[in-house]
Structure 1
Amino acid sequence: MDVLLPEWSPRRALVLRWPTRNDIWPYQAQAAQAATLTLLSSLAPLMAARDIQLQLEVVPEPTERFAALRQQLPSSIDMVPSGYADIWIRDCAPFYLGDPTSGDASATIVTDFNGWAGLDTDFQYDIQARTELCRRFQLNPQHLPIVLEGGSLHTNGQGLIVYVASSVLDRRRNPELTTAEFESVLREYFGAKTIIRLPQGLQSDETGGHADNLLAFLSPTQCVLSMPASGHIDYAQAVSYQRMLEQAGMDVMPVAQPALNLSAEEADSIVRREGVMSREAGMPLTASYTNGIRIADIYVVPQFGVPEDAQVLAQLRARCPDLTLVPAPARDILVGGGGWHCASHAVV
């Protein structure tokens, strides 16, 4: 039986997007752009060595800015003109099913998307960009008429699927969908054999709760889990989630969850616009080391400029010696509402 493929299954390409919007990003998106350049420069030789295409979708206007960016990027990176809304490609991207042994894909599924229940009213441009991506890679997706964001679930590639109910079963997303109906969808269309229902995401998660801020599978039997400090509002929940994963046979590695906030300077530099969530000084940021990129034998480890960065890297090196770890600055991406997992999509 085919299952939802894991992120380490064979992939043709890794796709990211160039941040530009000044109504989401501080400092005219310049800090987020610098972080993106750093990551792309680190990934380019690794992707080339593994014969995985690295693409960057870019809003092509103005023309001179597009040309200038081409000069800054490694030559192996393909720049693709695109009309997306924002960089969070994961949540409106296809899902892939296939053989869990070979990793060969047999089906592609796309679902509905409504801008995280109205968080961003420009979401229709992300749907258009997904159509362009499917055409570019000659995908022939099946459409499933439910709102299901890519970050809201995770899989170990062996039929175990973890999802967050607070986002998937949100009345603003799927007003008529019940738990039983959704889990039936997971079994019928996504090959789920075991399902773990996580009731809530992190309190600071503006999506309403995504799995990629809570955990990441590094192999069929191992996952990392975001663990806040004792006394944090999310601590008891994290402990219960660790127990649930362990009961399902997972080797769980708890990693620190840094406490970060949007600064007044950052908030003041964001342009206010109707139809886009207002980002206020002091608001908590959802910093999570699980919101990284797992592809081939690589794990991109978010870095936030805090002491926990080195601690988590050391944990991963000790527990996952076969992984190639790529530390990547994520603080300036985080302020726009997501992490590197949210900002990436690997095409089967």
Structure 2
Amino acid sequence: MTSLFDNSPKKAGYRFPAEWEKHEATWLTWPHKEASWPGKLDKIYAPYCEFIKVVAKGEKVRINVNDEATKAFATSKLVEAGADLSQIEFYFNPSNDAWCRDHGPAFLVNPGTAEPKMIVDWGYNAWGGKYPPFEQDDVIPTRIGDHFGLPVFHPGIVMEGGSVEFNGAGTILTSRACLLNENRNPELNQEQIETFLKECYGAEQVLWVGDGIVGDDTDGHIDDITRFVNANTVLTVLESNPLDENYLLLQENLEELKAMRLLNGEPLHILKLPMPSPVIYEDTRLPASYANFYIANAAVIVPTFRDVNDEPALEIIRQAFPDREVVGIDSTDIIWGLGSFHCLSQQEPAI
């Protein structure tokens, strides 16, 4: 392990910027897997393209597609949505599924060097081997690095972008339920995983909450629970119904957040975000959460669920991001795939 970290991104002065820092682009992988949205794949394209339309107002949108036919189909849907095609680029990187937050490139920056941007290509096993095949998704970061001539670092362990949250000032937030799950890296303990995270993302500390929300097939990704909105503030979801199965675990996470201290010794500033009413489809509880928002240059895009808490959640997020438009997009069909806008996207920072 020592030899791997002798040349780590952190040692070379790279860091993973916070999501609210300026982007060059947002990366997506065009959805095409019927099994991820059984019976609903055709219904997700309208909200998905609306998401792209909003993001494209402030940055490039770079979309991985399987082939020319997929590109043509995607273009037709984007035209229907009225998206600015001059802001959209397609790249032929074949994929197994659409969850670019987890299989896409982790871009790190070091503006003062000859190579100011690099990619970390973690291993990817579709959330503990749940949804094979995943071999095409696993190599997408290196394919993108090769295309753009960027250096690529291979840590050699499994990690997903949705499992980690960043404040841009040296702190990573994650969950024990996901990163300590034996279906990821059973040979590593918590301390070893922290070392990988700090060395590969250019961070100084890792803070841990316990569990993720019910219905989350990722084993507890942090991007459905708690999100940094600035260097010392988080939004965290809470369930108001004591009888709901999310109630206790989210209360326990809140208590852990209250006890955390940042690198400067200060506690987190905690803003509370409601949960929507349970979203059930075909007798399945889906991981619907307002925390799965995406911070783009021009807007913060928030999943909504035709729920009484949609507008209160949007208002809380507006107060957290006074410098950006906050846009709610109906995610009722998209969440059938067990993820939403943050899960589907990965930011590429500007230099």
TM-score per shorter chain, which class?
0.7 to 0.9
2:22 is aligned to 10
Q: How many angstroms apart in 1 are the aligned matches of 2:295 and 2:184?
A: 27
2:76 is aligned to 68
Q: How many angstroms apart in 1 are the aligned matches of 2:245 and 2:22?
A: 38
Residue 163 of structure 1, CA deviation: 1.2
What letter is aligned with 1:29? L
Q: Cα gap change, 1:40/1:174 in structure 2, threshold over 3 Å: closer, same or farther?
A: same
Alignment of 1:160-199 (within 5 A): 160-199=171-210
2:142 is aligned to 131
The answer on 1:57 being equivalent to 2:64 is yes
Report percent identity of matched pairs.
26
List alignment gaps of at least 5 residues for structure 1: 264-280
- TM-score norm. by structure 1 comes to 0.85
Contact 2:16 2:108 in 1 (8 A): yes
1:324 is aligned to 325
The answer on 1:230 being equivalent to 2:241 is yes
What letter is aligned with 1:156? N
What letter is aligned with 1:60? D
Q: How many angstroms apart in 2 are the aligned matches of 1:8 and 1:123?
A: 30
Contact 1:196 1:244 in 2 (8 A): no
- Counterpart of 1:141 (choices 149, 152, 155) is 152
Contact 2:16 2:201 in 1 (8 A): yes
1:270 is aligned to none
Q: Cα gap change, 1:129/1:2 in structure 2, threshold over 3 Å: closer, same or farther?
A: closer
Q: How many angstroms apart in 1 are the aligned matches of 2:200 and 2:35?
A: 37
1:284 is aligned to 285
Q: How many angstroms apart in 1 are the aligned matches of 2:203 and 2:139?
A: 29
2:47 is aligned to 35
Secondary structure at 2:337's aligned position in 1? coil
- Between stretches 299-308 and 13-22, larger displacement belongs to 13-22
- Counterpart of 2:31 (choices 2, 19, 40) is 19
Q: Cα gap change, 1:99/1:135 in structure 2, threshold over 3 Å: closer, same or farther?
A: closer
Q: How many angstroms apart in 1 are the aligned matches of 2:40 and 2:288?
A: 21
Residue 42 of structure 1, CA deviation: 2.5
Residue 99 of structure 1, CA deviation: 5.9
1:296 is aligned to 297
- Counterpart of 1:250 (choices 268, 276, 298) is 268
What letter is aligned with 2:250? A
Contact 2:54 2:299 in 1 (8 A): no
Q: Cα gap change, 1:105/1:339 in structure 2, threshold over 3 Å: closer, same or farther?
A: farther
How many residue pairs end up in the alignment? 324
Q: CA RMSD in A?
A: 2.5
Secondary structure at 2:155's aligned position in 1? strand
1:204-226 per-position Cα deviation (integer Å, ceiling 9, x unaligned): 21111101011111111222111
- TM-score norm. by structure 2 comes to 0.84
1:160-189 per-position Cα deviation (integer Å, ceiling 9, x unaligned): 111112221221211111011111223333
What letter is aligned with 2:120? I
Q: How many angstroms apart in 2 are the aligned matches of 1:256 and 1:43?
A: 25
The answer on 1:261 being equivalent to 2:261 is no
1:224-251 per-position Cα deviation (integer Å, ceiling 9, x unaligned): 1111123122223322322333442222
Residue 258 of structure 1, CA deviation: 1.5
List alignment gaps of at least 5 residues for structure 2: 1-12, 262-266
Q: How many angstroms apart in 1 are the aligned matches of 2:287 and 2:195?
A: 30
Q: How many angstroms apart in 2 are the aligned matches of 1:291 and 1:5?
A: 18
The answer on 1:346 being equivalent to 2:342 is no
What letter is aligned with 1:10? K
Q: Cα gap change, 1:105/1:5 in structure 2, threshold over 3 Å: closer, same or farther?
A: farther
Q: Cα gap change, 1:302/1:83 in structure 2, threshold over 3 Å: closer, same or farther?
A: same
